């Protein structure tokens, strides 16, 4: 059985100053935001827009409103994922 060292004990290929402890949580946050936001904008928003447009052909105001709400929801879910992934690293 192979045992893995905790992330805090893994040697870093280049030395980081002590003040660079924020880099890992920031990178995790940015990656989590991107991994949620991009598929949401590329797949979810167009799919919802297509459904609303098919059901309400003569109401562009409703289509725009629903699309805008879904876009805002995607941003909120991506922000929540980013905050969760960034976490609080107290080590």
pLDDT tens for the chain, 91 residues long, are: 566 656 566 665 666 666 667 778 888 899 999 999 999 999 999 999 999 999 988 999 999 999 999 999 999 999 999 999 888 665 5
Contact 37/78 with Cβ under 8 angstroms? Answer: yes
What is the signed CA dihedral for 61, 46, 26, 29, rounded to 10 degrees? 100
Query: Quick check: is 33 in a domain?
Result: yes
Query: How many CA atoms are closer than 13 Å to the CA of 82, on its beta-carbon side?
Result: 17
Least Cα distance to 64 among 45, 78, 39 occurs for: 45
Q: Which residue range forms the structural domain that includes residue 72?
A: 23-86
Query: Quick check: is 48 in a domain?
Result: yes
Those residues whose C-beta lies under 8 Å from the C-beta of residue 21, and which sit 6 or more positions away, are: 89
Query: Quick check: is 28 in a domain?
Result: yes
> What is the number of structural domains in the chain?
1
Token pair recorded at residue 74: 């995607």
């Amino acid at each position: 059985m192979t045992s893995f060292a905790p992330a805090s004990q893994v040697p870093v290929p280049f030395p980081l100053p002590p003040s660079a402890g924020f880099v890992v949580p920031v990178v995790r946050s940015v990656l989590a935001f991107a991994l949620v936001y991009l598929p949401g904008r590329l797949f979810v928003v167009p799919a919802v827009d297509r459904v609303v447009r098919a059901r309400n052909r003569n109401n562009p105001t409703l289509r725009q409103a629903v699309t805008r709400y879904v876009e805002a929801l995607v941003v909120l879910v991506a922000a929540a994922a980013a905050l969760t992934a960034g976490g609080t690293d107290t080590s």
